[in-house]
Chain A
Amino acid sequence: MTPAIDVKNIYFSYKKEIVLADISFSIEKGRFFVIIGPNGSGKTTLMKMLSGVEKFKKGKLKLFGRSIRRHARKELARQMAFVPQTIPTDFPFTVTELVLMGRTPYLGVLGVHGEKDRDIAEKAMQFTGIAHHSQKKLNQLSGGERQRVFIARAICQEPDIILLDEPTASLDLAHQINVMSLMEKLKKEKGLTIVMVSHDLNLASMYGDDLLLLKNGTIVKMGSPRDVLTESILKKTYGCELIIDQSPMGDFPRVTLVPGKRGTILKVKDIPGI
């Protein structure tokens, strides 16, 4: 089967600094794929390559067997939708207006939508549980609700792949689980391929089918949560102490941080002025 995303030997540099070096992997259709790694490992840049926001310098990137460079922007938008980390709020569009914007790749220049588009938007809002807010302004919603509005907008694009850049980073626990479960539902019920950048190793372990661990722009390890989230790999990659055991929730690893060893950090009384 042709993979949904196939990356071969991708390089990316920014101002002579290499951000991604020789990255190759593929994502099968209908998988929940999570990209993890320490700060500055190139996760977000990799996401930008995948979404077509940034152009890579060298290498190949295929979507369903076809080079990304051969897709027109509009065509790409019908195949792949993106959910950003920070949600712009300055402009008081209503929830419905914003969700309907997801139909843009299917509409004419003025974005005048028909009944079918409204149906799709309505279903997307019901799916993400924001239908009751449909007439509210975006800036009247909480962070978690706004995130679900933007997910509904992504669903409206009717994509095969959804890309998410740390969608849970600024959300409280309930909203984190909510967003992750929505993605799992999209995967299971609609067969979508989910690609997510995340800092949260436990969420990645719980929901991810495949994990990709990056450091300094190269792949450290790729595989199932059990393969990637091991003590030795994570200690080396993140440079901190941690314990891995089985999650009480099921057959996947749980990561627990261990406070830094005494002696490696200054004692409070040694800091002048405190």
Chain B
Amino acid sequence: MNANLTSALIKRIFTVSFILLLLLFFAMVLGLSEGSTGGGFSAIWRSLNPSNADDAMLASIIWKIRLPRVLVAALVGAALSSGGLVFQALLKNPLAEPYILGISGGAAIGAIIGILLGLSRFPGVNLTAFSGSITTLLLILLMASGKSILIKDALLLSGVMVNAFCSAVIMFLISLTQDARLHNIMFWLMGDLSSSDLHQVGILSILLLPCFVVIFRYSNIMNILLLGDELALTMGIHIKRVTLILLTTTTFMISATVSHCGLIGFVGLVIPHLLRMILGPDHRILVPACLLGGGAYMVFCDLLARVLPAQGEMPAGVITALIGAPLFIILLKKTAS
């Protein structure tokens, strides 16, 4: 016990962050070097010192098309993973996730309404998406409240229903849209990163980075919330205030990613679970780990979405759902037993 536990904690945070930062860096380099126009690691090197016209074109593909995309993927992955982590801690349910609970769906409805109204993506669509997700959040909390013994299941079931309802509203809105934007909306809905540019990277950073700081600030308090409301209260935690701040921040974060990249599901489930299994339950370590690890995971998924189809590409949300949905079922079975 005399061994330095304090510095051990800080050392652990830094070690974990450093390893995952390396992973993120590796993912980003891979994301930059691979793509439909080919490349490989040497391509990045050549693009830095272009010696002919081919290299110059490659350089512009790598730095103008792939780089923003990789950065957006990293930001979105970080937001979705940490968002899932917060939901799981606050709702004390390991299966809670913004996408499964329909928060993302609500944001999507808001975003589509914004798009149909002809609002600009920022801040117009961002705001409509935020109001959409906040509304669904309130709906779910309202439906799941009441002292049910099966509160965990009540929450998930409410989420499933809200999600189904949101999908119906989305399809309804889409079926009203008869113009050329339809394909774009559909593609965006499935979680599309292909239209990313540096301007978008800037906006997303401004929106998301402060949220990351807020979530890390409350990481230790999330540990204590796990012990239950009574204990947390008598240990000096303002539960209502903390819950409000965290839920609002997370919902804001999710609506920002949805309005920019559509519906990307299950990232907030897969990454926190994986990291919790490896690193244990301490949120002071899990928050930075989810930010970096989630970013890396999303960059990988986006890369797969780009290179798997022989022609063109598929939305990144397809990949995350293909990996995430089976895992959700496995986890559900594990929790039940």
Contact = CB atoms under 8 A, between A and B. Distances in A.
Contact of B223 (A82, A92, A101): A101
A77 B1 contact: no
Interface stretch (B54-62, B120-128, B231-239, B299-307): B231-239
Given A88-B227, A114-B6, A93 B236 contact: no
A92 B280 CA distance: 7
A113 B224 contact: no
Interface stretch (B100-108, B214-222, B262-270): B214-222
Contacts of A36: none
Interface stretch (A104-112, A174-182, A247-255): A104-112
Interface string A116-147: 00100010000000000010000000000000
Interface in B28-56: none
A48 B233 CA distance: 11
Contacts of B324: none
A91 B233 CA distance: 18
Interface string A70-104: 00111111101110100010111100110011101
Contacts of B227: 88, 101
A38 interface: no
A132 B156 CA distance: 40
A134 B1 CA distance: 9
B5 interface: yes
B235 A104 contact: yes
How many chain A residues sit at the interface, stated as a range, is: 35 or more
Given A53-B230, A73-B237, A88-B227, A112 B9 contact: yes
Nearest to A73: B236
A52 interface: yes
A15 to B, nearest CB: 11
Given A96-B1, A113-B5, A118-B5, A102 B235 contact: yes
Interface string A166-201: 000000000000000000000000000000000000
Contacts of B94: 90
Given A101-B223, A104-B224, A118-B5, A112 B234 contact: no
B6 A82 contact: no
Contacts of A93: 223, 280-282
A205 interface: no
A52 B234 contact: yes
A112 B236 contact: no
Contact of A74 (B220, B223, B236): B236
Nearest to B284: A110
Nearest to A131: B1
- Greatest chain A CB density within 10 A among B92, B217, B231, B234 is at B234
Contacts of B91: none
Contacts of A157: 235
B236 A105 contact: yes
A92 B235 contact: no
> Size band of the B side of the interface?
20 to 34
B6 A113 contact: yes
A111 B220 contact: yes
B106 to A, nearest CB: 28
A81 B234 contact: yes
A73 B240 CA distance: 12
A161 to B, nearest CB: 11
A74 B233 CA distance: 9
A157 B221 CA distance: 16
A221 B222 CA distance: 42
A52 B234 CA distance: 7
Contact of A111 (B1, B92, B223, B230): B223
A221 to B, nearest CB: 28
Interface string B1-37: 1000110011000000000000000000000000000
Given A53-B229, A104-B236, 11 more contacts: A74-B236, A80-B234, A88-B226, A91-B226, A93-B281, A101-B227, A110-B284, A112-B6, A114-B6, A134-B1, A163-B234
Interface of A: 48, 51-53, 72-78, 80-82, 84, 88, 90-93, 96-97, 100-102, 104-105, 109-115, 118, 122, 134, 157, 163
Interface of B: 1, 5-6, 9-10, 92, 94, 217-221, 223-224, 226-231, 233-238, 280-282, 284
> What 5 pairs between A and B have smallest CB-CB spacing?
A77-B236, A111-B220, A74-B236, A82-B234, A105-B236
19 contacts: A48-B230, A51-B234, A52-B234, A53-B234, A72-B236, A73-B233, A74-B236, A76-B236, A84-B231, A88-B227, A93-B280, A97-B282, A101-B224, A101-B227, A104-B220, A105-B235, A112-B6, A112-B9, A113-B6
